[in-house]
Chain A
């Protein structure tokens, strides 16, 4: 079975450009999470969805970040405009659970390494 798929694996862009990261969760999972990993701040939860609906976006750093989940098999995280401090590894993870919260383990994708010059 395919795991969580993320694309691109690496992205290098210039400050001010729009960046779109993509994620395909494991089929049958109804929770999808976006994380950001940096040396300074570690792993941070940005937003998570349940049944395609955003449940908690309190971790989204600012209005430049937006996430969507148009269907159960696809999600995007967009940064517009990008800034050098957005450079990080962005992980998508999926899981399953009852309504509102998943108490189960998360399956992570390989991550997208974003570099903003």
Chain B
């Protein structure tokens, strides 16, 4: 069975703080893909990153960075120097086999 766990339901930070969103996954597949999506208050889900199971290199894109560790089945997402515009729900997702399974999401509040 495949599963994605985002244990943090809500996180509240003050602007310019760094924040890490946790994602733990379960799968028996050896080939799989991991994703992060952002859902701002407007409601539309926006793709942020995709990682395949054979690429454990961490990635940085501006203020965003991702840490993929197969040993702990985690794919964590860090926002450095958070901004109010980062306020959104963030979803981690797993694609193994034929279906994408989404985590429950973490709601991030960034206060000015």
Bitwise, B40-57 to A at CB < 8 A (1) or not (0) is 001111110010100000
Q: Count the A-B residue pairs with Cβ separation under 8 angstroms: how many?
A: 40
Name the one of B35, B98, B105 contacting A105, with C-beta atoms under 8 angstroms: B35
Is there a chain B Cβ closer than 8 Å to A12's Cβ?
A: no
Name the prevailing secondary structure of the B interface residues.
Answer: strand
A7 to chain B, nearest CB (A): 14
Measured CA separation A33–B45 after assembly (Å): 13
**Tally of A interface residues using CB under 8 Å:** 20
Is there a chain B Cβ closer than 8 Å to A61's Cβ?
A: no
Given contacts A56-B99, A100-B98, A103-B95, whether A108 and B46 have CB atoms under 8 Å apart is yes
In the complex, given contacts A42-B104, A56-B98, A111-B44, what are 14 additional A-B residue pairs having Cβ atoms less than 8 angstroms apart? A33-B100, A42-B103, A55-B98, A56-B99, A93-B45, A100-B98, A103-B52, A103-B95, A105-B35, A105-B50, A106-B45, A107-B47, A108-B46, A110-B43
